[in-house]
Structure formats: structure tokens, C-alpha cells
């Protein structure tokens, strides 16, 4: 199984959904998931606030970055630079 390719419309759709979440909803999500529990072998001191901060950073990335168009991806692949982003 490989990583799915997500196009710009999919990225924009996901960003729109993520942006609808309030900070209270995000916090409650991690509280309900018991993100502050420390399973055996896990790093100590990682709490809900840390998870919320990490989630917010990922949402920011989804909002700020853009996906390659199919045409641009094909062109970059021909040039050997398929890891480049628009």
C-alpha cells in the first residue's frame, strides 16, 4: 500500500473542515482520547496542551501549503525532482 496522492481540491476541502473546529473542540478531542495518559514506555510530561499545539501546527501546514497539480507533478517527475512543491 502506498501513500495516497491528495490534490489541491482535497487539501482545500480538508482545510475547510479543520478550520471549523474550535480550540475547545480540539482540546476536548484530546482529553476524550486520554492523550495525557502515559502508556508504558512513552515520554513523560506530554499533555493535552502539547497535542493541541501539535495539531494546530499541522492545521497551519494544511492551510499554508499547496498541493502539486497533476501537470506540475508530471513535469517535476520527468526532471527528477518530484519531491519539490509548488
Between 77 and 24, residue with greater pLDDT: 24
Q: For residue 40, what pLDDT is reported?
A: 64
Question: Is 62 domain-assigned?
Answer: yes
Question: Is 4 domain-assigned?
Answer: no
Report pTM: 0.71
Residue 33 pLDDT class (50, 70, 90 cuts)? very high
For 86, the domain range is 23-37+45-86
Question: Is 14 domain-assigned?
Answer: no
Residue 61 pLDDT class (50, 70, 90 cuts)? very high
Question: Is 10 domain-assigned?
Answer: no
Q: Does the pLDDT at position 17 exceed 90?
A: yes
Q: For residue 30, what pLDDT is reported?
A: 94
Q: For residue 84, what pLDDT is reported?
A: 47
**Cell numbers at residue 80, please?**
527528477
DSSP assignment of the chain: --PPP--HHHHHHHHHHHTTS-HHHHHHHHHHTTTT---TTPPTT--HHHHHHHHHHHHHHHHH--PPPHHHHHHHHHHT-TT---
Percent of the chain's residues with pLDDT above 70? 85
Question: Is 72 domain-assigned?
Answer: yes
Amino acid at each position: 500500500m502506498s501513500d495516497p496522492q491528495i490534490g489541491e481540491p482535497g487539501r482545500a476541502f480538508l482545510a475547510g473542515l479543520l478550520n471549523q473546529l474550535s480550540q475547545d473542540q480540539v482540546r476536548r478531542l484530546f482529553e476524550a482520547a486520554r492523550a495525557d495518559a502515559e502508556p508504558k514506555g512513552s515520554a513523560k510530561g506530554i499533555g493535552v496542551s502539547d497535542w493541541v499545539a501539535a495539531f494546530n501546527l499541522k492545521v497551519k501546514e494544511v492551510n499554508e501549503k499547496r498541493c502539486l497539480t497533476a501537470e506540475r507533478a508530471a513535469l517535476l517527475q520527468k526532471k527528477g525532482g518530484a519531491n519539490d512543491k509548488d
